[in-house]
Amino acid sequence: MKPARWVEVDQCAHISVTQLPDVARRVRHHVLSMIHASGAGHPGGSLSCVEILVTLYFREMRVSPAEPRWPDRDRFVLSKGHASAALYSVLAERGFFPVDELLTFDAIDSRLQGHVDMTKTPGVDMSTGSLGQGLSAACGMALGAKIDRRGFRVYCLLGDGETQEGQVWEAAMFAGNRGLDNLTAIVDYNKVQLCGPVAQVMPLEPYTDKWRSFGWSVVEVDGHDFEQLISGFNRARETRGAPTVIVAHTVKGKGVSFMEGQAKWHARPIGDEDFELAMEEVGFFQAPRGSVPNPAMQGAGGGKG
């Protein structure tokens, strides 16, 4: 039975699966615009997790944009805090703050920090950026829900390279031993990290075996396929007595041909030409440049003029 409180909040976006690709396209557009405008950011790992975040915020999680700190909301921890542009875009699309604000990304005094900050951005549940720490916090949230017998669920998105951090496996051991079945980890398995392919820098395979051995239920999905993601989250919700990890196979820089699978697009600014090309490729239907004030560019122009 749902508590009466639920009727008052916009707990679920209720949009159909067929509408999700459009949201994802808008999110990719925002991600590229933000990184282009700020002259900094992480395009590769932001574009790879777009479908995961859109599924979470538009289908899976119970959240309230009007009341971001609603106590019974589901929690999300972006452990790969450098994918901030993607999370901010999804939060803005979901109504946590104006879409216009996205172009303040990374600028001084902005609520949208380079890595996510829960004290600044409405809808951000945990500050992250130093890799490997998010899953532990998610464990604490899920454990808190268990101790309090509250119904909220906790989701944590990790980068594949990030799981090279030892703390991730401390957290995996903890969650497995505690049987935190209200916790779902999602690994954005895009197989490329800053300095090259994960398989070269520090290989993770056999990857799903690692999670299973720590007591996790494992689901493997195509991380760009909404149907598969939705069914993965369904399975996680139905699993009792163990946390679930969704190993989402993705493509770094997804949607932009010259960024796909390229380590060099992990963290780098997007120049004007690349931006034009990328925007065409992600298939947005109207040119957005100039439609939204760009404080970073205005500041630079003003100084020179």
Partner 1 sequence: MSIGVRESVRDAFGNALVELGKEDERVIVLDADLAESTRSGKFAKEFPNRFIECGIAEQNMVGVAAGLASVGFVPFVTTFCVFASKRVCDQVSISVAYPRLNVKVCGAYTGLFTGKTGATHQAIEDLALMRAIPNMTVIEPIDAREAALAVKYAAHTPGPMYLRIARDAYPVLSRSTNGRGETEATGTEHASDFDGIPEFMKARTLTEGDDVAIVALGTMVHTALAAREALREKGVSARVVAVSCLKPIDEAGIIRAAAETGAVVTVENHSIIGGLGGACAEVLGEKCPVTLRRVGIRDVFGESGADADLARKYGLASDHVVQVCLDALAVKSRGGGGSGFQRLARAGVGRCGL
Chain residues binding partner 1 by CB under 8 A are 71, 75, 77, 117-119, 125-130, 132-145, 147-148, 154, 166-167, 170-171, 173-174
Q: Whose Cβ is closer to partner 1: residue 173's or residue 297's?
A: 173
**Cross-strand partners of 246:** 186, 219
- Cβ-contact 37, 105 below 8 angstroms: yes
The rounded distance, in Å, linking the Cα atoms of 246 and 279 is 29
Q: Whose Cβ is closer to partner 1: residue 93's or residue 125's?
A: 125
State residue 18 phi and psi, 5-degree precision: -70, -20
Q: Whose Cβ is closer to partner 1: residue 11's or residue 121's?
A: 121
Q: Which token pair is 136?
A: 């532990």
**Cross-strand partners of 155:** 76, 184
Q: Whose Cβ is closer to partner 1: residue 135's or residue 221's?
A: 135
- Cβ-contact 212, 218 below 8 angstroms: yes
- Nearest approach, Cβ of 144 to partner 1 (angstroms)? 4
Q: Whose Cβ is closer to partner 1: residue 50's or residue 172's?
A: 172
- Nearest approach, Cβ of 36 to partner 1 (angstroms)? 28
The rounded distance, in Å, linking the Cα atoms of 64 and 176 is 29
Q: Which token pair is 283?
A: 């298939």
Q: What angle do CA 101, 157, 45 make, to 5 degrees?
A: 65
- Nearest approach, Cβ of 42 to partner 1 (angstroms)? 17
The rounded distance, in Å, linking the Cα atoms of 160 and 169 is 13
- Nearest approach, Cβ of 136 to partner 1 (angstroms)? 2
Among candidate residues 99, 39, 80, the one with its CA nearest the CA of residue 164: 80
Q: Whose Cβ is closer to partner 1: residue 175's or residue 248's?
A: 175
